[in-house]
Homo-oligomer: A and B are copies of this chain.
Amino acid sequence: MDIATSPLAKPFPAMEPVAGVTLRVARAHYKTWDRCDLTYAELAEGTAVAGVFTRNVCCSSEVELGREQVKLGHARALVVNAGNSNAFTGYRGRDAVEQIMAQVAAHLGCQPAEVFVSSTGVIGVPLPKDKAEAGVAAALTAEPCSFEAAAETIGTTDTFAKGASATAMIGETKVTINGIIKGSGMIAPDMATMLGYIFTDAAVEPAFLQACLSAASEPTFNCITVDSDTSTSDTVLAFATGKAGNAPLAHGDDAGADAFAAALHDVCRQLAHLVVRDGEGASKFIAVTVEGAVSDESARKVGLAIANSPLVKTAIAGGDANWGRVVMAVGKAGEPADRDKLGIAFGGVWAAKDGLPLADYDETPVAEHLKGDEVDLTVDLGLGEGTATVWTCDLTHGYIAINADYRS
């Protein structure tokens, strides 16, 4: 099945190289795709690493190993396999990952644990070790490539290459943060898993890099949903080569730490939004903001209940400002809510306040807002100061077509 480029796609941004990062792609022929499917990133000695991983308890060997590797704090290389997730493959799957780690480590003269591996694609088929070996060998000697080429190569059902970039000043030193990501269902473990990689030339201690990445992930990657399904392989890794030469960041009160954390957050937010924009079948990018919750975490949960509701998502797909379905979704979230304090707005126009539809509610501007491809939905719970925004896309015939009609 040919899947058309998402109508919400964004062009790949211009990106500066990141000193200490060399990207290469090759063909391992995991699928019959007529394109590269193996991405290799070589990282300068001393590169710090941080990571966040799926909470799915049936995770892949790559995720199990990655969680341990991140604790060591240093990385020399990244290999990403596209077309086979290697999940639910037991010891044979783990063997294949360890083979890749050993092969790259021998080439670089580093520890295997400094080689990070991710895989995305079909579940339950062990990564073929012969194809992996040949693919890695080809990648190790391939010509360096751009971030855009790498972003294309890590994709599976993605309909466009996704990248984001930001800079920050650390003292007198300008540092660059480039990120690439793949994913189009949140995230389908057949041909879609969210894998994100962030590269910076900043010098950052591993523990502080982890703190920044974890903090940035909560309001970004953990606030998006396409279909409420969580992959067994989701991974976001951040690599800091230190080649910019700044005084290494180790604490939140170091000079430039705030700027770095903000830039990293910015890249994470952009990447997260791009995944939603490539959501399977998406025709509208939806921001759900919940205010007046008892806490930020409660606001996030209510926001996700709304963003995951098939009835809300289909209503928005149909251009229907169906706030009754929003009320339903708020009520089922399992979080504190009071029906008689609820307010609901579309595109900044309040349809209901204090638990009642507004008498003078004019649906005309709301209908106009819902015709666009970016929809804002705000819910005021009227209980406290907690707030959160989550992002999702609408649920359309396209989602069914991709996931029911397409045989993986």
Q: What residues make up the interface of A, taking CB atoms closer than 8 Å to B?
A: 55-59, 85, 87-90, 122-125, 185-186, 188-190, 227-232, 308-311, 314-315, 317-318, 320, 322-325, 327-332, 336-340, 342, 352, 355-357, 394-397, 399-401, 403-408
Is A58 touching B342 in the complex (CB atoms < 8 A)?
yes
Q: A188-B311, A317-B400, A323-B124 are in contact. Are A230 and B56 (CB under 8 A)?
A: no
What would be 29 A-B contacts, judged by CB atoms less than 8 Å apart? A56-B332, A57-B336, A57-B339, A58-B331, A59-B339, A87-B327, A88-B356, A89-B356, A124-B352, A186-B325, A188-B328, A188-B332, A189-B324, A189-B325, A190-B311, A227-B310, A228-B310, A229-B309, A229-B325, A310-B310, A310-B403, A311-B403, A314-B403, A318-B403, A320-B407, A395-B404, A397-B401, A397-B404, A399-B400
Is there contact, CB below 8 Å, between A318 and B406? Answer: yes
**B58, B314, B330: which contacts A339 (Cβ < 8 A)?**
B58
Question: Which of B228, B317, B327 is in CB contact (< 8 Å) with A124?
Answer: B327
User: Judging by beta carbons under 8 Å apart, are A322 and B229 in contact?
Assistant: no
Give me 11 other A-B pairs in contact (C-beta within 8 A), A57-B339, A228-B310 excluded. A56-B331, A58-B337, A87-B327, A89-B356, A89-B357, A90-B355, A124-B327, A186-B328, A231-B328, A315-B404, A320-B408
B123 with A325: CB separation less than 8 A: yes
Do B317 and A232 have beta carbons less than 8 Å apart? no
- The reply to whether B314 and A399 contact each other, CB–CB distance below 8 Å, is yes
Give Cα A228–Cα B313 distance, bound, in whole angstroms.
Answer: 13
Bound state CA distance, A337 and B327, in angstroms? 33
- Give the 4 A-B CB pairs with smallest separation, nearest first: A123-B324, A58-B331, A314-B403, A56-B331
Closest to A401 in B: B397
Contact across chains for A331 and B59 when beta carbons are under 8 A apart: yes
CA of A323 to CA of B122, assembled, Å: 10
In angstroms, Cα B232 to Cα A342, docked, is 14
**Inter-subunit contact A230/B400 (CB<8 Å):** no
Residue of B with least CB distance to A330? B58
Q: What is the bound-complex CA distance between A323 and B324, given in angstroms? A: 35
Report B-chain residues with C-beta under 8 Å of the C-beta of A190: 311, 322, 324-325, 332
Partner of A228, one of B308, B340, B404: B308
Query: In the complex, what residue of chain B is closest to A406 when comparing beta carbons?
Result: B318
Chain B residue nearest to A90 (CB atoms) is B356
Contacts A229-B328, A328-B231 given: A403-B355 contact, CB under 8 Å? no
Chain B residues with CB under 8 A of A227: 310-311
A125, closest chain B residue (CB)? B357
Interchain CB contact under 8 A, A403 and B342? no
Known: A314-B399, A337-B57. A328 touches B123 (CB 8 A): yes
Query: How far does the alpha carbon of A338 sit from the alpha carbon of B56 in the complex, in Å?
Result: 11
Closest Cβ of chain B to A38, distance in Å, is 21
- Whether A310 lies near B123 (C-beta < 8 A) is no
Q: How far, in angstroms, from A323 to B327 measured CA to CA in the complex?
A: 34
Known contacts A310-B399, A314-B399, A403-B310: does B228 contact A324 (CB below 8 Å)?
no
Q: Which of B231, B311, B405 contacts A229 (CB 8 A)?
A: B311
Q: Which of B85, B311, B331 contacts A185 (CB 8 A)?
A: B311
Question: Which residues in B have their C-beta under 8 angstroms from that of A189?
Answer: 311, 324-325, 327-328
Closest CB of chain B to A215's CB: distance in Å? 23
Please measure, in the bound complex, the distance between the C-alpha atom of A331 and the C-alpha atom of B229, giving whole angstroms.
10
A27 to B62, CA, bound (A): 63
Chain B residues with CB under 8 A of A57? 330-331, 336-339
A327 to B309 CA separation, bound complex (whole angstroms): 22
